[in-house]
Structure 1
Amino acid sequence: MMTHAAYDCDVLVIGGGIVGLSAAYALTRTAPGTRVTVLEKERGPARHQTGRNSGVIHSGIYYPPGSLKARYALRGSAEMTDFCREHSIPHAVTGKLIVATDRAELPRLHALVQRGREHGLPVRELGPAQIAEYEPKVRGLAAIRVGTTGVCDFRAVAGRLADEVRGAGGVIRFGAEVTAIDRRPWGVAVRTADGLVVRARVLVNCAGLHCDRIARLAGDDPGMRIVPFRGEYYELARPELVRGLVYPVPDPAFPFLGVHLTRGFDGSVHVGPNAVPAAAREGYGWPVVRPRELMDTLSWPGSWRIARRHWRYGAGEVHRSLSKHAFTEAVRRLLPEVTEEDLLPSPAGVRAQAVLRDGTLVDDFLIREAPHTVHVLNAPSPAATASLPIGREVARRALLRARAAGWKPPERAAAG
């Protein structure tokens, strides 16, 4: 049996995005004195999914009652707003409109009204004239307004979480790409590209776009693969056209919300994203191709089953990616005044979408455990919104794993 001193830390977190940092933050608060280390391959936090999204604090209206997404988003939206307020992080509670532009969307819009009320959210139904009161330039047959939706700077949130982890005695190592994991009866040993070895009682995998690869390095079969989808954005040259957040009615057959309009905390308005297959885990543009990662995607049976099942939808997304005119026409359904000249290129993001072998797109959060390991295998939107409660759940599981291996929580110092 290894002694306490032989471990470099009690819990090792791989991934310095908002979910990994929230898990580390929760560990230091749930069990003060727990030795926590975070390894992140980039030179700073939140360089991928966390820092490349639309910055929306989601209300939870889209998610089925009882799902992890619903539970964590409903709780997390309020907590995220409080966290931003407490730490003076730029944010705003703006509310948002979900707008039906076609009669076929009206039943789905009504279903969202019912779901919002089940969740206890402030939902107001709007006709065309009332839509114009909130968004004079937006057109639709009907809409609903959800009052609890907001926006914030998730990069700043991740940076603050990192500061809090360090302040509680945790260690964060940037530029530390994990290349090997050795699981033993006493715990795990992790090696990084620069030769660093970290021994821990429990490993927490929050590697996002690379979470399935990390699970396989640990010797676990995740039963899924990450299939990357690039989301491309434009910035609106005339931000005065949009006052707040405007979304289309989502198609329940897909886990994507569709192209929407988002006024950020800084006053800029972003348009997007679409969802096109990426040829690399970090494929932020068409020219970015990593053959090994592309082959990993193409060799997974679920990828081909997605293609056969949803090829029409995918072809439309690719067309809008390659044709600015087509993208503009999609936006004009909500915002008729927009022109191609109004859309300025903006940085893209990549969504880490978990896909099962049968081609099922995993829609909910997916957390799996194995000896000495906790793997977060699917954390799509609203993961940033829900990161604080997700972090607590991951921390709870990690601490249970540590206790099962004989670890005891540090004794709190007696009050003086």
Structure 2
Amino acid sequence: MTGKGSVNHNSRKFHAKNTDPQRSHWNVEYCNQDIREVYHELFDGALERYNAKQTRKDRKIEDYYEKIRSGKQEKPFHEIILQIGNKDDMGAKTAEGQMAAKILDEYMKGFQERNPTLRVFSAHLHMDEATPHLHIDFVPYITGSKRGLDTRVSLKQALSALGFKGGTRMETELNQWVTAEKQQLASIMLEHGIEWEQKGTHEKHLSLLDFEKQKRAKEVAALEKQKAELEEHNANMQEVNEKWLVQLENIEREISSAHENREEADKQADQAKKKASQYEKKLTEIAPMVKDMERFAEKYSDDPDEVLPEAGTLETGKSYREKKAKPLIKKIVTVLRSVYRAYLDLSRRFSEMQRSYERVWSKVNSLTARVEELWNENRMLRENLGDFERVKGALGHDTVEKIVQAERQREQVLKEQKRAQKRKIDRGERWQK
């Protein structure tokens, strides 16, 4: 049977009325570890990784044990109680009771190896009550979870990892696991010559008192089953809620990224405009100088033999030309050619600056368009987020989740059909070749 679990009672920190303290030294303590230490051991690493991913402080978890203990989705730990027979045929003081204790001891020693996802932290064999029985307290957990902590508490998933898959309402993971553990205990009993008597449902030979006891037991079992189903449903709902939280966080990150991109684009656009303004100012200053240089260079760049005038009447032409005019003109032309080369270099720089100016303005226009595009994306993201919240509020989380899952399945089917069609076409082309 499963129980609420009382570690202090199991370790005999206090004695109930049905215990015999004089026989308590017969009890066996297999382990008795503080549950908070177990939570630190199992979940501290996953908790650190989870908190590091959170952008909002209110979504961080300070104490995972307290979150589970105060929550309604999962229990901090679970307990099972195993007993063979009853006080009439397996009394603790009898030889049969000692046999039962030996069988329970063998069963306990293989429990943790058989159930690696159920972390046992407290286990006790009691011999100081009417019948020998075994208390096992454990924390069920899974690793590699895609939602919440990657290592987290989950009875359903822990049992599923052991191979117990839920089917009908009667065949839950928990019910299947309990049945398997009973069979494990029964196999050890059989090795000691004790057969498991699985009593039927015929009640005509029961006394009225026994019948009422059995009826109450069935009612309790039904309530336990209903409780397990509700816990399973709550766990599923938690996974759905965590999934929507992840999607909302992704949308928030996209909006934040759009804001950052827009701000960076604005900054780059401002810098490009400043550079363009500087280039434009320099071009305005240089343009008149370039024009004057062009006219001056064009006027004085011919060969001195062509531009030198003939001699006048006061001096012979040869003397004037060779001794005075020609040397002077050569010096002027040398200077002008040097100036002209400087002009060509300046002109080249002017052309490069003009091209840089045009490129900067092209970048300004491109950045301006990108800023406008980011603004539109930002507005659309906020509108989509608002519409998404309205749909969830109107239809309810469950309905929205079903619609989303159905649409994803439809998209997956379409993708598979397209892939199959493409493979068929590829095979046909290869066959033709």
Fold shared by both chains (TM-score > 0.5): no
More strand by share: 1
Structure with higher Rg: it is: 2
Task: Indicate the structure whose relative CO is greater, using CA pairs within 8 Å and at least 6 residues apart.
Answer: 1
